[in-house]
């Protein structure tokens, strides 16, 4: 499938500090290193008419999406609707697309499975794939941020599930991303560890100020963390709602329950009576 990369080329009034680059870059269509482009409206992510097909079936079908710098966006949708496919495209890991995708050069992704290399110590895992010759101190700073500095010399197999997930987050943070892509990062954690991990991501986001796109199946998690929640269906963003509740969010707030109920309804799940 041909990749069509085209986009606005003039600086915007509120353009982000980092130049936006067109991604994917295919067949030399656009090299962001020599041809940086900026979004005229200051968005950190701009997706227009994105299409991705597998075997002739369009999993993503003319999808439009915009994310502002520093915005926390959660993405919900039934299993198999294309959430991970979208994330991989934004991460630059899947380039067989049609449409326009503008993403910042500095982006990082963390998946549900921490994907640590078992033969490398934790600190080396954190630096894995970074360009240049990053030193151990960079890994230690990122591990410190996720409360894992004391496990820098551990082997991945000796980490608990929550620790491994934090190592994976450190690996994302060390890249100093303008866009942090999280694909169900808490999915495999037990309830208590999950709450701690959610709080950690909230703190990191507030401290770092990067934009976040979080894929989750957990409606409550989405309302707890996000500025805006999207529901994906039929290959596009079928519904979105802005969460204007003050932070930190209170799940006992009736408005919280109301938003959660609306989202569950959009997902085709009946909300419990107490949440209606």
> What residues make contact with ligand ATP under the rule CB under 6 A?
54, 59, 77, 79-85
Binder of Mg ion out of 51, 53, 84, 241 (CB under 5 A): 84
Tell me whether residue 36 is exposed, middle or buried, using C-beta atoms within 10 angstroms of its C-beta: 0 to 12, 13 to 18, 19 or more: middle
Residues for the chain: how many in total? 276
Kindly list the distances between the CA atom of residue 161 and the CA atoms of 113, 196, 216, in Å, as whole numbers in the listed order.
9, 12, 18
Shortest approach of ligand ATP to residue 213 CB, angstroms? 13
Q: Which is nearer to ligand ATP, 86 or 204 (CB)?
A: 86
Q: Which is nearer to ligand ATP, 90 or 224 (CB)?
A: 90
Helical pair 191-208 and 161-173, crossing angle rounded to 10 deg: 10
Q: Return d(Cα 18, Cα 113) in angstroms, integer.
A: 29
For residues 31 to 70, the per-residue mask of contacts with Mg ion, x marking binding by CB under 5 A and - elsewhere, is ----------------------------------------
Shortest approach of ligand ATP to residue 13 CB, angstroms? 35
Residue 260, binding choice from Mg ion, ligand ATP, none, Cβ under 5 to 8 Å by partner class: none
Residue 185, binding choice from ligand ATP, Mg ion, none, Cβ under 5 to 8 Å by partner class: none
How many helices and strands in the chain, by DSSP H and E?
7, 10
Q: What are the φ/ψ torsions at residue 251 (nearest 5 degrees)?
A: -70, -10
Of 68-76, 83-91, 133-141, 260-268, which segment contacts Mg ion by CB under 5 A? 83-91
- The answer to whether 12 and 40 are in contact (CB under 8 A) is yes
Q: Which is nearer to Mg ion, 124 or 217 (CB)?
A: 217
Residues that bind Mg ion (CB under 5 A): 84
């Amino acid at each position: 499938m041909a990749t069509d990369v085209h986009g606005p080329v003039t600086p915007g009034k509120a353009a982000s500090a980092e130049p936006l680059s067109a991604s994917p870059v295919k067949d030399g269509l656009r090299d962001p290193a020599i041809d940086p482009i900026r979004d005229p409206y200051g968005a950190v992510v701009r997706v227009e008419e994105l299409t991705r097909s597998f075997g002739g079936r369009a999993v993503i079908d003319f999808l439009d999406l915009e994310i502002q710098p520093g915005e926390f966006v959660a993405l919900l949708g039934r299993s198999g609707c294309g959430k991970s496919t979208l994330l991989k495209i934004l991460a630059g890991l899947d380039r067989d697309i049609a449409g326009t995708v503008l993403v910042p050069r500095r982006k990082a992704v963390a998946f549900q499975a921490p994907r640590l290399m078992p033969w490398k110590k934790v600190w080396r895992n954190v630096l894995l794939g970074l360009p240049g010759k990053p030193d151990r101190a960079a890994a230690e700073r990122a591990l410190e941020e996720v409360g894992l500095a004391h496990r820098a010399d551990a082997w991945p197999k000796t980490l608990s599930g929550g620790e491994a997930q934090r190592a994976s987050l450190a690996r994302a943070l060390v890249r100093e991303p303008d866009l942090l892509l999280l694909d169900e990062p808490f999915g495999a954690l037990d309830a208590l560890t999950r709450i701690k991990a959610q709080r950690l991501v909230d703190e990191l986001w507030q401290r770092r100020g990067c934009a976040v796109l979080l894929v989750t199946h957990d409606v409550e998690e989405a309302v707890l963390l996000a500025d805006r929640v999207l529901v994906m269906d039929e290959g596009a963003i079928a519904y979105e709602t802005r969460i204007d509740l003050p932070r930190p969010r209170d799940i006992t707030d009736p408005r919280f329950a109301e938003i959660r109920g609306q989202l569950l309804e959009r997902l085709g799940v009946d909300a419990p009576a107490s949440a209606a």
